[in-house]
Amino acid sequence: MSSESELTEPSSDEYEIEPSQEDSKKRKPKPSSTYTIKNSLKQPTTASYPTDWLAKQMKSGDIKVDPEYQRNVVWSDAKQSKLIDSILRNFYVPPVLFCISEDSSGNQTRICIDGKQRLTSIRRFLDGLIPHKDGKLSLYFKQADSTKAVRLLPEPLRKQFRNKTLVCIEYRDLSPIHEREMFQRVQLGMALTTGEQLQSFDGPMAQFAHKMHSELFDSAHIETPMCLAIERGRGFQNLIQIIACIARLPEYTHATHIQQTKLLQCQGMSPEKIKEIQHKSERALRLLKTIATNPELCSVAFSLPPRVSRNSPVEFCFSVLLIAMRMDNPGTGPKQLAEAIGEMRAAMRAVHVDMRSNSVVSGSFWNYITGAHHETPQPGPSSQSTSATPSMKKLKINAPPTPQSPTRSNRPEPSKPLTDTKPRPKAMPRSESSAQFQSIFSTPNAGPSQAL
């Protein structure tokens, strides 16, 4: 018999337990430990272009500095001249940010996302509209006005400025959403107004607001006869406020900044609701344009009282709301609407001194439109009942004098003296030194020299 066991050794496979189907279903593949960036943009390119080339591209339209989301030119002439001085002295100038698009013919267009103020300053200097300032000395690139004598920059310095280059960062094929997001990101450190922030949104409502802004202000220029302030996005902000209020008619709710943002993002609105709001807003705004562009109707609706230079945004807003509420009434046309707007503004200015868009003033306007209060509203703490209204005058009444009571005299009684006539006892000195001091200075006509 052999000493070694004749039994076969167990293989390692016999002790392995096969996983059940349930266990295999519960097991999930482990996520990859490598982090990846999603939705990244294409790598931009860097280029340097001469100032003269940039100005020519702006004039030809190959560089666009006025996309819808951009703000207006806000730099003063002094700040623009400071940039020209920085370029001439080789100081650092931040890069200009472009988005390049190409049409089917291969023509390239550069849209300025950041750097509009710098490019505008360069173009205005080359056109002779602003000078280079060195202390009190002002030197122009060229003479823009032949009737005005100016001192010109020497030709060698003019040639140097033409050849000065600006660093430009260029993105290609950005979508409109990425383009606007890029603008919002690079402007985080800038002091943008609320209207300029609203201009950077995109969507059906934002596009409609830009369309009406272009029709009312860029084409018809109704801000001039209506005496409105529209700079730095104020006109766009007023339109968004109006559209947000029209969206809630026949009720009125003061549209906050959050509600205006939701309107631009079309939150909770169906396509049918969006079209309905746009249609009603367009009708009301075009009736306003008809009134504003007619000198006779505009003077009836938007004439200013003395010592007032412009109409307030709340007057602009509720003028459009009045039109939206009454434009479908029988026999109501531009003339009747202009008269109603003029009467409403006169009534509100007779009550409110400070025409701000707050709950008190807005409530008075809305009550006037809906006729909730037929009586003239009484002025509150921030308002006054004006005597300058044409319908209210100060009246001088000649009435007999009221007889005086015999117990009263018209002359005021003489006031009693405040000092007590009784002599007060002299205070006793507290110490020997105090007594000595009192004996020296309390003697009439005695001074320190006599005591000594």
The per-residue pLDDT for range 151-202, each reduced to its tens digit, is 999 999 999 999 999 999 999 888 888 888 788 777 655 566 777 677 777 7
Count of CB atoms within 10 A of residue 113's CB?
23
232 close to 198: Cβ distance less than 8 angstroms: no
How far is it, in rounded angstroms, from Cα 184 to Cα 295? 40
**Of the candidate ranges 67-71, 212-216, 276-280, the one whose mean pLDDT is the lowest:** 67-71
Please check whether residues 228 and 293 belong to one and the same domain: yes
Q: Which of 42-56, 166-180, 221-235, 383-397 has the highest mean pLDDT?
A: 42-56
* 215/148 same-domain check: no
User: Angle, to 10 degrees, between the axis of helix 313-326 and the axis of helix 359-370?
Assistant: 20
| pLDDT, mean of residues 367-375 | 73
Same domain, 180 and 208: no
Q: Is residue 442 part of a domain?
A: no
The predicted pLDDT at position 25 comes to: 55
| Encoded amino acid at 202, one letter | D
**pTM for the full predicted model:** 0.48
Residue 208 shares a structural domain with residue 356: yes
Give CA–CA dist 79/164, Å, rounded. Answer: 19
In a domain, 307, yes or no: yes
Query: What is the band of 83 on the pLDDT scale with cuts at 50, 70, 90?
Result: very high
Number of domains making up the chain: 2
Structure confidence at residue 179 (pLDDT): 83
Residue 391 lies in a domain: no
Same domain assignment for residues 185 and 211: no
Task: Say yes or no: 126 and 231 in one domain.
Answer: no
User: Are residues 287 and 185 located together in one domain of the fold?
Assistant: no
Say yes or no: 163 and 291 in one domain.
Answer: no
Is the pLDDT at 126 greater than 90? The verdict is: yes
For position 153, what pLDDT does the model report? Answer: 93
Is position 177 within any domain? yes
Does 7 fall in a domain? no
The whole-number pLDDT of residue 229 equals: 81
pLDDT beyond 70 at 108:
yes
- Residue 305 maps to a domain: yes
Which whole number is the average pLDDT over 126-138? 91
Q: What is the mean pLDDT of residues 83-112?
A: 90
**Same domain flag for 117 and 209:** no
The domain of 328 spans: 204-370
